[in-house]
Amino acid sequence: MNDPCVCSLDDQELTERERWLAPFAAGAESAADLEDGFELRFGGTWGARLLELIERERACCTSLVFELRFEPDAGPITLRCRGDAAATGFLRARLAPTR
């Protein structure tokens, strides 16, 4: 079982979640560290998927704060994740761009 302050998913659920998160890592255009978390930038068509990501992660990573910023004219969307270093590091490792 995982450390409960980092993740409330069991091993099987975690494996399924990591598989589900893979397209986000592939779709993120850039990543940046924040003092208390990280920021990822996506193309303007990612809004609904990012909202679903936040809903899912809020269910298991209850201490994290999520922010979405939508730029005008269907421009980029920025996702910020803030909170405990262990929890944000855990999630960032699964969402960081793969290129």
Model confidence at 99: pLDDT above 80: no
Is 5 a member of any domain? no
Tally of domains within the chain: 1
Model confidence at 2: pLDDT above 50: no
pLDDT tens string 39-86? 999 999 999 999 999 999 888 888 899 999 999 999 999 999 999 888
Note the pTM of the prediction, 2 decimals. Answer: 0.85
- Cα 42 to Cα 99: distance, rounded to the nearest angstrom: 14
Is 4 a member of any domain? no
Is 1 a member of any domain? no
Q: Determine the angle formed by the axes of helices 47-60 and 11-27, rounding to 10 degrees.
A: 150
Q: Are 17 and 9 in contact (CB under 8 A)?
A: yes
Model confidence at 98: pLDDT above 50: yes
Q: Which of 14, 27, 19 shows the shortest CA–CA distance to 97? A: 27
Residue whose entry in the numeric block shows the structure tokens 């998913």? 9
Is 86 a member of any domain? yes
Cβ neighbour number for residue 89 with a 10 Å cutoff: 13
Model confidence at 24: pLDDT above 50: yes
pLDDT band at 6 (very low <50, low <70, confident <90, very high): low
Q: Which domain holds residue 77?
A: 11-95
Is 3 a member of any domain? no
